[in-house]
Structure 1
Amino acid sequence: MIKFEHVTKIYKNKKFENTVFRDLNFTLRRGQSIGICGANGAGKSTLTRLISGVEKPTFGKITRNMSTSWPIGYTSAFQSSLTGADNCRFIARVYGKKEDELLAYVEDFAQLGPFFRQPIKTYSAGMVARLAFGVSLAIHFDCYLVDEVTGAGDERFRHRCHEALIERRENGTLVMISHDFNTLREYCDSGAVMYQKQLHLFDTIDEAITFHQEKQSQS
């Protein structure tokens, strides 16, 4: 369970203050798969950072008793001068996983061939994305966060990503942000919409998509 109680998030400096959302109250439960819609800048990514614990609320309380992933496919955390394998070794140590097992999984999943042991700065964007997906899925969490990205590479690799996400959804909690409604329908049962600094919750993803489309057409 991850519970938000009267959570407000404000970014501010000497000349600017932005209240992203205020007084959020909701609970994410084990086994839930929820898709989050919202216009650009509505606060969706900020919400995922609070869910994961990367950021803290300005006001309010977040109770978390589930382990939570970083956004699946996130590529910005790699050290580009290190090899893909060395980056995996570092992540294994951070999460207390066996290095050999994690490396074997990522090498098989990402299918980078000899590049797996070359510096990441020599990779194409697609290769980095494949490595990121492999590392993201190599560690098992109670709650998985997916922010926009759901696949990279050829059809075979995208199919492997799809199967892996379905397996994670069936055995844990999935929180997905995407502007692609078909993707949300594919992976999510319930839905939510970030609108006017509030999170509006719906029992089905289709209800959430309809609400989002209606509000967008009015703006």
Structure 2
Amino acid sequence: MIELRNLTKSFRTSNGRKFLFRDVNACFPEGKNIGILGRNGAGKSTLLRIMGGIDYPDSGRVVTDQRISWPMGLSGGFQGSMTGRENAAFICGLHGIWGQSKRKVLDQVQEFAEIGNYFDSPVKSYSSGMRSRLAFGLSIAVEFDCYLVDEVMSVGDAHFKQKCREVIAEKRKSANFIIVAHSMSTLKENCEVGIFLGDTGLKVYENLEEAIELYLAGVSPAKAN
């Protein structure tokens, strides 16, 4: 169960305070994979960060009985002077993963990331692509009930994108996903339920196609995938 209760989130801008959400109440369908749609600036990524516990609402809260991941592929949280291995080990500690389980996670991250000896080099020496590989590998190596995905399948080369698709398809057998993507094909491949963020707020659609139709109604054909 994931429920938003009276969720309000705003930002201070030069033109005054902008509200992304104002007293939003919503209950996400259980056992479903969910696609989140909305124009740029609607608050899709912010909503994922709040659900993942790395951002906070002005008021209200997210109520859940599930283990929810941080947004998959998020690389901004790495400590640059620490190696990839050290960053991964630190995250394991935060999630109570120790001993053999920790070694298993580190091995999985190293194998997936395919960054060779850089795994034991400071993250500040990585390219953006290497950071993305490390971040995705770490996200998928830790077990969660629900994984948050924010456009991660739009980065990297064709080989990396295919690996992402394959590992998400495998994880869907035992976990659920909440995905932000501008690619309709990605959402259709992975999701059944849609959430649309628009001028009227947040609305949950039991049928993904309904949310897609509403989203595309406000997007020019040239921009729609």
Normalising to structure 1: TM-score of the pair?
0.89
**What is the aligned residue count?**
217
- 1:134 deviates by 0.6
- 1:6 deviates by 2.9
1:215 to 212, 218, 224: 218
| Range with greater deviation from structure 2 (176-185 or 198-207) | 198-207
Contact 1:202 1:208 in 2 (8 A): yes
CA distance in 2, matches of 1:14, 1:209: 32
Secondary structure at 2:153 match in 1: coil
Contact 1:4 1:25 in 2 (8 A): yes
Contact 1:82 1:119 in 2 (8 A): yes
Aligned residue number for residue 31 of structure 1? 31
Aligned residue number for residue 138 of structure 2? 135
CA distance in 2, matches of 1:89, 1:181: 35
CA distance in 2, matches of 1:117, 1:18: 42
Secondary structure at 2:24 match in 1: strand
Normalising to structure 2: TM-score of the pair?
0.87
CA distance in 1, matches of 2:67, 2:51: 10
Among the aligned pairs, what percent are the same residue? 39
Q: What CA RMSD, in Å, does the superposition of the two structures yield over aligned residues?
A: 2.1
User: Is 1:180–2:196 an aligned residue pair?
Assistant: no
Contact 1:20 1:197 in 2 (8 A): no
Aligned residue number for residue 223 of structure 2? none
- 1:46 deviates by 1.8
Secondary structure at 1:150 match in 2: helix
Instruction: Write the letter of the residue equivalent to 2:82.
Output: L
CA distance in 1, matches of 2:3, 2:18: 23
Equivalent residues in 2 for 1:12-27, closer than 5 Å: 12=12, 16-27=16-27
Secondary structure at 2:79 match in 1: coil
Contact 2:9 2:22 in 1 (8 A): yes
User: Is 1:72–2:53 an aligned residue pair?
Assistant: no
- 1:93 deviates by 1.2
1:145 to 135, 145, 148: 148
CA 1:14/1:209 → structure 2, altered by over 3 Å: closer, same or farther?
closer
Contact 2:28 2:204 in 1 (8 A): no
1:200 to 196, 200, 203: 203
| Range with greater deviation from structure 2 (65-74 or 92-101) | 92-101
- State the Cα deviation string for residues 190-218 of structure 1 (Å, max 9, x = none): 1111001511222222221110111345x
Instruction: Write the letter of the residue equivalent to 2:147.
Output: Y
Contact 2:68 2:145 in 1 (8 A): yes
Contact 2:53 2:70 in 1 (8 A): no
